[in-house]
Amino acid sequence: KNEVEQSPQNLTAQEGEFITINCSYSVGISALHWLQQHPGGGIVSLFMLSSGKKKHGRLIATINIQEKHSSLHITASHPRDSAVYICAVGDYGGSQGNLIFGKGTKLSVKP
């Protein structure tokens, strides 16, 4: 069983729709990252969360430590949001090399 599970694997939406991507993990963590990767492109960090909720523009990330679950929401989605979204969890109490990644959610937003 993967330690970080994302759902859905693939998601197609119409422009303007509200989008939710989920991440569940089975290990103890200090922080959770949401990353964005455009086709053929580099990886950009969107959020790093250890509790609660963060908002940046149209993006909102939440985490429930007790339930070991995080969600990434995109409001008023746009074709430029089309990318792979990756959840990663880390334990910074020990080695900093302990980031574990989900397989990613491929989002396609149609105009």
Residues lying near another protein in the complex (CB under 8 A): 31, 33, 35, 41-45, 48, 86, 88, 92, 95-97, 99, 101-104
Give the shortest CB-61-to-another protein separation in angstroms: 13
* 102 in Cβ contact with 84 (< 8 Å): no
Give the shortest CB-18-to-another protein separation in angstroms: 26
For the chain, give the longest Cα–Cα distance.
Answer: 45
Q: What 8-state DSSP symbol labels residue 36? A: E
- Report how far residue 110's alpha carbon sits from residue 88's, in angstroms, rounded to the nearest whole number: 27
Give the shortest CB-13-to-another protein separation in angstroms: 22
Name the amino acid, one letter, at 16.
G
Residue 2 or 64: which CB sits closer to another protein?
Answer: 2
